[in-house]
Chains A and B, each alone.
Chain A
Amino acid sequence: MNSFRRTFLKGTGAAGTVAIAIAAGLLKPTQVLAAEWNKDAFGAKSVSDALKSMGASAPVDSKDISIKAPDIAENGAVVPVEITSKIAGTTSIAIMAEKNANPLVANFNLSNGAEGYVSTRIKMGQTSLVRAVVKAGGKTYTAAKEVKVTIGGCGG
C-alpha cells in the first residue's frame, strides 16, 4: 500500500496545474462563496500543488501558529487537530496531512470576529507531518507537527 502510494505521488506530482480561476478567488478569499469548492486544491497530490491552487505560495514558517495534535495517533481515521494562530489579522487557516493521497484536508476562511482558531478531526493515511497554512494580511505562514499513525485511516 505504502509503496504504491509513493509511486503514485511521484507519477502525478508534476501533473498539477494551477487554475486561473483561483486568481479571482485570491483577491478576496472571504468572498469565495460556498458553491466554488476548490477542486484543484483538494485534488492536488502534493503539498506544493495544493498550496499553488490555493494561491498560497512561499509560506513563511511561523512560531505564532500552534498545532495541537497527538504525537501518536492509534487510529488514523480520527486524529484530533486543533490549530491556533496568534498572527494578527488571520483570515484563513488550512490543514494539510502531507502524506495523504490528497494532502489538503480543509480550508477555513474566518471573518467578522472569528478568532484564529479551528478544531476538528481528520483522517491520516500514514505517519506524516500535519501542516497548518495561515493567511494573514496578504501573507502566508505555516507550521507543522509530526503525527505518528499506527493504523491508517484512508485505506480500505
Chain B
Amino acid sequence: MADAMKIRATAQGDSADIKVLMNHVMETGLRKDAKTGQLIPAHFIQNVSASVNGKEVLDAQWGGAISKNPYLGFKVKGAKAGDKVVVNWEDNKGEKNTVEATVS
C-alpha cells in the first residue's frame, strides 16, 4: 500500500497552494461484492495531517465517503518558496504513508 503519493506545492502571492494525490481504495464498508454478496470490509484513510517547516497546518479526519485515490488541496498563508511541506495519512488498518515537497 505504500504507493507513491503525488504532491505539488507552489507559492502564489503570500501563500502556498498545496495539492496532494494519494493512492487508496477508500472502501466504505457499505459496499457488497457483486459475486459473493458479502460486504467488502471498510478500508479507508481516516487521518490526514500536513505541516509546513515542521509546524502543523492541517489535521483532517476522513470518512469512507472521500473518493477513491483521494485528492486534497489546501492553502497556507505565509508559506513561501523553499519551505518544506510534509503530508501524512493513516488508514483504519493502521497503514501509513507520507510525502514531502518543497514549495516552489
Contact = CB atoms under 8 A, between A and B. Distances in A.
A118 B76 contact: no
Interface stretch (A12-20, A58-66, A100-108, A133-141): A100-108
B70 A105 contact: no
Nearest to A107: B61
Interface residues of A, number: 42
Given A34-B90, A109-B58, A104 B73 contact: no
Contact of A156 (B40, B58, B73, B78): B40
A154 interface: yes
Contacts of B77: 113-115
Interface string A12-49: 00000000000000000010111101100110000000
* Most chain B Cβ neighbours within 10 Å, of A30, A32, A80, A121: A121
Nearest to B30: A101
A105 B63 contact: yes
Interface residues on B, range: 35 or more
Nearest to B72: A120
Interface string B65-76: 111101111111
Nearest to A82: B73
Contacts of A97: 65
Contacts of A122: 65-67
B104 interface: no
A118 B74 contact: yes
Given A113-B52, A113-B77, A156-B40, A121 B70 contact: yes
Given A32-B59, A113-B57, A154-B28, A119 B73 contact: yes
A101 B65 CA distance: 10
Contacts of B61: 37-38, 41-42, 106-107
A34 B59 CA distance: 7
A110 B76 CA distance: 9
Interface of B: 15, 19, 26, 28, 30-34, 40, 46-47, 49, 52, 55-68, 70-79, 88, 90, 92
Interface of A: 30, 32-35, 37-38, 41-42, 77-80, 82, 97, 100-102, 104-115, 117-124, 153-156
